[in-house]
Chains A and B, each alone.
Chain A
Amino acid sequence: EAGVAQSPRYKIIEKRQSVAFWCNPISGHATLYWYQQILGQGPKLLIQFQNNGVVDDSQLPKDRFSAERLKGVDSTLKIQPAKLEDSAVYLCASSPTGGWEKLFFGSGTQLSVL
């Protein structure tokens, strides 16, 4: 079974530039999550989709971050403009129904903002 796919693996940009990350969840998984993990901290939920609808985006900095999941399959997360404090690993995860089951994570995108 193919896992959660993410790209790019690494990205280096300057502050005020824009960046986009892509995620393809495990086939058939209805729920997709974007997490931000700053060095030394646990993953923090940015946004959760159920199919193509947003379930929770309460911690998404909406002035600069946006995400979409068109057609309820793959998803993109965008930052525009980036700040130094956005340097982190961005993890995408999926789960079958969004209930009590475990999360399957992709390998993440490591973003460095200079």
Chain B
Amino acid sequence: RKEVEQDPGPFNVPEGATVAFNCTYSNSASQSFFWYRQDCRKEPKLLMSVYSSGNEDGRFTAQLNRASQYISLLIRDSKLSDSATYLCVVRDAGKSTFGDGTTLTVKP
């Protein structure tokens, strides 16, 4: 079993749709969690950190369920510019483990 697992998709949605990505992790001792965004042929960039209480940044909402070892990312009112691969990242003792990413394509 992989340490961090994501639904690979692809997710193809129309503009304005709401889309949710899920991620599960195996190490219960993991202490910090992130979502990164990676555009085609570009490096990953931090989208948002994920806090235990859940957090929101504009159209993006991240949630963490430690009991189920599950992280989610919700994107509301999808834009064409949201098309990218979204990587779930779990950090423990300074080591970051990446999921294989979920690809989103937003269409007009």
* B43:A106 contact, CB within 8 angstroms: yes
B76-108: contact bitstring with A at CB < 8 Å (1 yes, 0 no)? 000000000001000100111111110000000
Residue on A nearest B101 in the bound complex, by CB: A42
Chain B interface main SS type: strand
Chain A interface main SS type: loop
Least Cβ–Cβ distance between A32 and chain B, in angstroms: 12
Residue on A nearest B85 in the bound complex, by CB: A42
Least Cβ–Cβ distance between A44 and chain B, in angstroms: 7
The residues in B between 39 and 94 inclusive whose CB is less than 8 angstroms from any CB of A are 42-46, 49, 87, 91, 94
Contact size range, B: 20 to 34
Complex Cα distance, B94 from A98, in Å, reads: 5
Known contacts A91-B43, A102-B49; decide if A42 and B87 are in contact (CB<8 Å): yes
Residues of B in contact with A (beta carbons under 8 Å apart): 4, 31-32, 34, 42-46, 49, 87, 91, 94-101
